[in-house]
Structure 1
Amino acid sequence: MKANPSPLVPVLAEGAAWLLAFLFAYTAVSKVYDWGETRFAMYNQGFPGWITELLLYGLPLGELSVAVLLLIPHWRKLGFILSSVLMLVFTGYVGYIWLGFTERVPCSCGGVLASLGWGEHLVFNLVFLGIAVIGYWNHES
């Protein structure tokens, strides 16, 4: 017999879903709103051109898609999985830059996140990666 979960469990999952949805919607809208800067920043990454174009259009679309998945209860678990993957990739990228494995610092994020240093951005990403994992583990299927 399974023990009754704490009444806090669904609140944690719901809160995590909304926080992550807001984050991904905000970052996607920021990229589209300042398209010229986003394009410049993407081409400053040092990726091959075809990857840059894929990321330029794919990231905002992917972020918005994940935000929507997180807000639809039936699709929320997939949203948490994709959020975790995105945050893991973004966190790895920021860590790579922060540790100095690149010859140049390619860019900073748009919006409010642009004011963060790389170390602060790494902590921010780790917190949101934790939120995605907590949301996944507390999501009731």
Structure 2
Amino acid sequence: MEKKIRYFDIILRILFAALFTYTAAMKLIDFPVYRIKMRRQHFFEPLKEWLVWGVPIAELLVAIALVLPYLVASPKLARVSLMGNLVLIGGFTLYAGLAASGIFGYTPCACGGLLEGMGWWEHFLFNLVLTSIAAIGVWLHRIKKDAALFTSVCG
């Protein structure tokens, strides 16, 4: 059972690190378009510019934090990175759900890359599955000793 949990943890971390790195890169590569779409989102005006930079930075930080525990054997970072991952994808899921419900009226998707082509309901369901996977990852770390899951690949 411990091996299955460890493999699930590795797959979860790779999945989310790749997803967040990809979406952040797509936003930064096409930054002028991403910025326009973010400025059209339904947030408080002073918050919009912070989110333009904050979202891709948060995605990259979470992606790095998800990988680091296997490089430095840090159970505390492992737990914190999984919680950060759950909060980030949970926030995206909540926003996609609100956008899908039509509460905001028309809202352009500012995700970047292939995800941008999804409709809001598809986006919501996709994110809901990812949020469930992230929640399972957090739960597994709570029931299993973190220290047993991590050994550094660096020695």
Do both proteins adopt the same fold according to a TM-score greater than 0.5, normalized to the shorter chain?
yes
Q: Relative contact order (C-alpha < 8 Å, sep 6+): which is higher?
A: 1
Contact persistence 1:96–1:102 (CA under 8 A): yes
- C-alpha distance in 2, partners of 1:63/1:21? 8
RMSD: 1.4
SS at match of 1:78: helix
Partner of 1:23 in structure 2?
19
Q: Does 1:57 align with 2:59?
A: no
Contact persistence 1:13–1:134 (CA under 8 A): no
Runs of 4+ in 1 over 3 A off after TM superposition: none
- Code of the residue aligned with 2:27 in structure 1: it is K
- C-alpha distance in 2, partners of 1:104/1:117? 12
Moved more, 33-42 or 131-140: 131-140
Moved more, 98-107 or 122-131: 98-107
Contact persistence 1:13–1:136 (CA under 8 A): no
Q: Does 1:84 align with 2:80?
A: no
Q: Which residue of 54, 67, 76 maps to 2:63?
A: 67
1:108, distance to aligned residue in structure 2 (A):
4.4
* 1:27-52 C-alpha deviation (Å, 9 max, x unpaired): 11111011011110011113233201
Q: Does 1:120 align with 2:118?
A: no
- Code of the residue aligned with 2:52 in structure 1: it is L
- C-alpha distance in 2, partners of 1:17/1:57? 23
Kindly, what percent of the aligned residue pairs are identical? Answer: 36
Q: Which residue of 131, 135, 138 maps to 2:137?
A: 135
1:109, distance to aligned residue in structure 2 (A):
2.2
- Code of the residue aligned with 1:81 in structure 2: it is M
> Where does the alignment leave 5 or more consecutive residues of structure 1 unmatched?
none
> Where does the alignment leave 5 or more consecutive residues of structure 2 unmatched?
147-155
Contact persistence 2:12–2:133 (CA under 8 A): yes
Contact persistence 1:21–1:71 (CA under 8 A): yes
Partner of 1:12 in structure 2?
8
